[in-house]
Structures are given as structure tokens and as C-alpha cells.
Amino acid sequence: MATAGQRMKAAGGNRWSLLLWGGAALLLSLPFIAMRFTREVDWSASDFIVMGIMLATVCGCLELAIRLTANRAYRLAVAAATASTFLVIWINLAVGIVGSDDNPSTMLFFYALPVGIGGAIIARFRPRGMSAAMFATVAAIAVAFVIAVLGTTDEPNVSHWRELVGTLVITSPLLLSAFLFRRAARQ
């Protein structure tokens, strides 16, 4: 008699896939459950749809990386890049990285993401080119940050430490990804 893991592997999946997709489903259900107990959480149907699409995209990218390569550094690099992309989109949609979510300069952070996506396509997803694409994305986010901060205020003494820390948080996984792709290229 086959175990559950053997049946799943025979069907083309594995336990990591179950944990990945199950974890995403659990994350998506948390706001739904919280809405039953508090008015502080108030998601609309469109909020659930957008978050569902974002989580499915993250899970799909990770699943694809797991299935296409056995190179652990490459897999981790994809996970870090995907996490950073998720953070940029999620934070920008929720509150905005600089200012508020209705600040037009927050769109600049969205515009930085195609740099990485385009770079990955140009590199044909090869590790050395992916590393360069991640570094280019970090540079694009840094430029977006500088332009957004310079455009948010007329007062030169306003501190933007919160935004700087937020930008560092979202670019750190991209930098890690760039170094992991570089390591994957050497293997």
C-alpha cells in the first residue's frame, strides 16, 4: 500500500508543494477569519482576489524553480527575489513605501520591478544574468526611492528614515538573491 507521500510524488507533486500551497491558502484565510472577530480587519472581495493572485504567483514561481533545477543556491535566489517582489507590491498597495498609498511617487517602485523581470528574460534565466538583473533591480528601486523622497516635500529638514528602512528591507532579499545567483553560476 502506497503512503500519501508516494501517491503525491507519483502524481507529480511533493510535500514541499503541499506545504507551499497550503501555507498560501492558510495566509489567505487569516484575514477572513479575523474579520469574524474584529472590525479592525475589513477586506473586500477585491482584496482577497488581489492577495490570492499575488500568493499564487509567488507559489507558482517557487514551484517552477523547484521543478526546473536541483541547484539549491538558484532555488534560494528565486525565493529571495520573489519575496522581495511580493513585499514591494504588498507594501505599496497597503500603505505606500514613501508617503501614503495614494502618493503618485509610490508608482516608481512598481516601475522598478520590470527591470528585474526584463533582465531575467534577457538573461534567459541563467544564473549569471539573473544576478545582474537583481543588482539592476536594486539600483532601480534606489533611484525610485531618491526620486520619491525628493518629490514628497518642500521642506528640506523632513526625515525619511522610515522610508529608508522600508526600502532597505525590500531590497535586502534582492541583494541576497543577486549573490545567490552568482553562487549558483559558479556551481
Q: Which amino acid is at 176?
A: L
Averaged pLDDT score across all residues of the chain: 87
Dist CA 22 CA 163 (whole Å): 33
pLDDT tens per residue, range 166-181: 889 999 999 999 999 9
User: How many other C-beta atoms can be found within 10 angstroms of the C-beta atom of residue 88?
Assistant: 25
The overall pTM is greater than 0.75? yes
Residue 15 pLDDT > 90, yes or no? no
Residue 160 pLDDT > 90, yes or no? no
- 74 domain residue, yes or no: no
pLDDT band, very low/low/confident/very high, at 129 (cuts 50, 70, 90): very high
The answer on 10 and 51 residing in a single domain is yes
Beta strands in the chain (DSSP E): none
What lies within 8 Å, CB to CB, of 145 at 6+ separation is 97, 98, 109, 163, 164, 167
62-67 contacts at long range (C-beta below 8 A, 24 or more positions apart): 62/20, 63/17, 63/20, 63/21, 66/16, 66/17
The answer on 36 and 117 residing in a single domain is no
Residue 123 pLDDT > 50, yes or no? yes
The answer on 59 and 31 residing in a single domain is yes
- 73 domain residue, yes or no: no
Cell (9 digits) for 117: 523581470
